[in-house]
């Protein structure tokens, strides 16, 4: 039924939104694309898997996985981006690609190359609301994603570090003159970006119940698609585009078959680039005179 598929799509799209926001944070503030976010997402799933397998409840596992993923992303910033500050944008991009391969190989050596069952960390209870079936896992995934995105919105809009992020994104030189600690902003941004990716990894583990060291590439590209469709550098845009892509993917699987799901998702990406290159919520850039 259509309503059931829409709910499933929202659940999947909420994870895409978190990854899209993780990409957007770094791109919007520093004009750099951190490809390694896909592998940080994958590590978040395995951190959650390890904790849940040892009997740690869902919420503490999620928080610890987020912290560990944020720390991994700080390592990426320290070695893949900081030494290359001031270099042409393609150089940090290539560096982050190399670092993503390193993280993938590390995961293969620690957890093995095979697909791994993600153990249940939430007691599954299903509720029937008319013809729609909703489980506690779906509720937990949607609620977690909404809380994380709402918290990020408050941090960016209402806190000192959030104002620093916006100031650096608008004009790094002026922000520095006004006393904004650029290094602190960079560290905070990379940590938050990694934490969101790690949370998305654990939520995807709950969604599909199976993870592998190679899921970072596929899901990471979906996150990039959410970022572009929403508007590169626009956090609310990524939050909106994630569910749109998730719903499109689930509906395509339900009504057209699994073979076309990526065609539909990336077709939407290409359509957006052709029809509205600035994305759904992106502003049209006017030429400077």
Written as tens digits, the pLDDT of the chain (289 aa) is 788 888 889 989 999 999 999 999 998 887 889 999 999 999 999 999 999 999 999 999 999 999 999 999 999 999 999 888 878 888 988 999 999 999 999 999 999 999 999 887 777 677 777 778 888 888 888 899 999 999 998 998 888 888 888 888 877 777 877 788 888 898 999 999 999 999 999 999 888 889 999 999 989 999 999 999 999 888 899 999 999 999 999 999 999 998 898 999 999 999 999 999 999 987 555 433 3
Coil vs helix vs strand at 128: strand
What does residue 132 show for φ and ψ, rounded to 5 degrees? -100, 135
Picking from 220, 256, 229, the residue whose alpha carbon sits closest to that of residue 19 is: 220
DSSP for residue 260: G
Q: Could you write out the three-class secondary structure of 82-108?
A: HHHCCCCCHHHHHHHHHHHHHHHHHHH
pLDDT of the residue at 45: 95
Write out the two tokens for 237. 């845009």
What does residue 244 show for φ and ψ, rounded to 5 degrees? -60, -45
Picking from 30, 20, 17, 24, the residue whose alpha carbon sits closest to that of residue 164 is: 30
pLDDT of the residue at 283: 59
pLDDT of the residue at 286: 41
| Start-end of H helices in the chain | 2-30, 37-53, 58-76, 90-111, 136-158, 160-170, 172-177, 182-208, 215-230, 235-255, 261-275
């Amino acid at each position: 039924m259509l309503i059931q598929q829409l709910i499933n799509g929202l659940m999947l799209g909420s994870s895409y939104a978190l990854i899209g926001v993780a990409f957007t944070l770094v791109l919007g503030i520093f004009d750099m694309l951190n490809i390694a976010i896909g592998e940080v997402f994958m590590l978040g799933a395995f951190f959650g898997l390890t904790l849940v397998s040892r009997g740690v409840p869902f919420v503490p596992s999620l928080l610890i996985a987020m912290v560990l993923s944020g720390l991994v992303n700080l390592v990426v910033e320290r070695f893949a981006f900081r030494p290359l500050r001031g270099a042409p944008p393609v150089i940090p991009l290539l560096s982050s690609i190399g670092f993503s391969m390193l993280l993938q190989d590390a995961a293969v050596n620690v957890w093995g190359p095979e697909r791994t069952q993600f153990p249940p960390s939430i007691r599954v209870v299903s509720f029937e609301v008319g013809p729609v079936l909703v489980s506690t896992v779906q509720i937990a995934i949607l609620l977690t994603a909404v809380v994380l995105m709402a918290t990020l919105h408050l941090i960016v809009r209402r806190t000192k570090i959030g104002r620093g992020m916006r100031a650096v994104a608008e004009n790094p030189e002026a922000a520095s003159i006004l006393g904004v600690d650029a290094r602190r902003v960079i560290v905070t941004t990379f940590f938050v970006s990694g934490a969101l990716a790690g949370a998305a990894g654990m939520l995807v583990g709950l969604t599909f119940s199976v993870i592998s060291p190679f899921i970072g590439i596929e899901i990471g590209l979906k996150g990039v698609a959410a970022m572009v469709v929403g508007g590169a550098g626009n956090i609310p845009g990524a939050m909106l585009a994630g569910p749109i892509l998730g719903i499109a993917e689930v509906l395509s699987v339900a009504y057209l078959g699994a073979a076309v799901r990526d065609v539909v998702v990336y077709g939407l990406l290409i359509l957006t680039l052709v029809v509205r290159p600035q994305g759904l919520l992106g502003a049209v850039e006017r030429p400077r005179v």
